[in-house]
Amino acid sequence: MEIHTVGTSSAVPTAERGLPANLVKFDGDHILFDCGEGTQLELMEEKLGIMKLDRVFISHWHADHFSGLLGLIQTLEMEGRERPLYIHGPPRTEEFTERILDTGYFSRSYDIYVEHMTAGEVLEQEEYTVEAIGVDHSVTAFGYALRERPQRKANKDKMQELGLESSPKIGRLMDGETIDWDGDRIDPDQVVEEVPGRKFVYTGDTAKCRSVVRAAEDADLLLHEATVTEEEVGDRYGHSSARQAAEVASEAGAERLVLTHISRRYRNDPEELEEEAQEVFDNAQVADDGQRFKVSPHRPED
């Protein structure tokens, strides 16, 4: 699982930061969370496979979070895309997407399927799910939680204890069969365990809220907006400070916190936000455009 912070600015782009967009590569799928102005250019510059996009999840319909969608759709057509593109978002997503598709003259070589979601709704895929999280913003807005489905894996420590490290019979145990080994009968549950899947949570724009804390419980990576410092957040309804983002990560027991949606007032000193967050949650950092964050598979022996 790889998370690429494509655009990390708030409201307006800066010379260093584009508008909100985040690409998740997982299980062969390329999933885009928000699509601010300049998204397609950054995807191209970072060689992130613009033609491989499968789904776009829009957190809400403020322009900085969707203004790159029209250009992206048109470029896919001009490059001869044939397979469908899926667009998901909060209520009115069909309406707003249709308005975008009615802008200007262009044809489409591929189908676009648009679905609005409701808070708590879960998109089911074979290897993962994506849940829409209701958040606290000035308009209807969602965060999203991408969860890998639980995996059955052989515990390497238990295999070593039983002398099974190189046995071809591991596959049979994984298939639920009991095997004979070194004069003993070994059941699958002596070696094979169910391991929780990885979890990535993206908040979109939100004030600190319980729904995000619940959704981010035990998240491997929480990508939380941190528009301003605690001193400034009172003037930003529906947004979070770096400290509040860190409080969410701490209360949720998240593994890692990455801060995004950075106000341009901190373009010369994003470390101020990072330091504020680290006062509450050590494993926190401010994202830059074009960064990659890897989430390794879970192991039963960890």
Please list the active-site residues: 64
Q: Which of 124, 125, 131 is nearest to 146 (CA)?
A: 131
Contact 199, 193 (CB under 8 A): no
Helix or strand run (H / E) with residue 278: helix 271-278
* Length of the chain, in residues: 302
Distance separating alpha carbons of residues 41 and 18, to the nearest angstrom: 10
Residue 292 β-bridge partners: 4
Across the beta sheet with 128-134, the strand order is: 122-124, 128-134, 142-148, 199-202, 221-225, 257-260, 284-286
What are the φ and ψ backbone dihedral angles of 247, each rounded to 5 degrees?
Answer: -65, -40
Contact 181, 172 (CB under 8 A): no
Compute CA distances 40 → 6, 18, 74, 299, whole Å. Answer: 9, 11, 10, 35
Q: Where are the beta strands (DSSP E) in 189-256?
A: 192-195, 199-202, 221-225
What value does the CA radius of gyration of the chain take, rounded to a whole number of Å?
21
134-165 burial code (b ≥16 CB/10 A, e <16): bbbbeeebbbbbbbbeebebbbeebbeeeebe
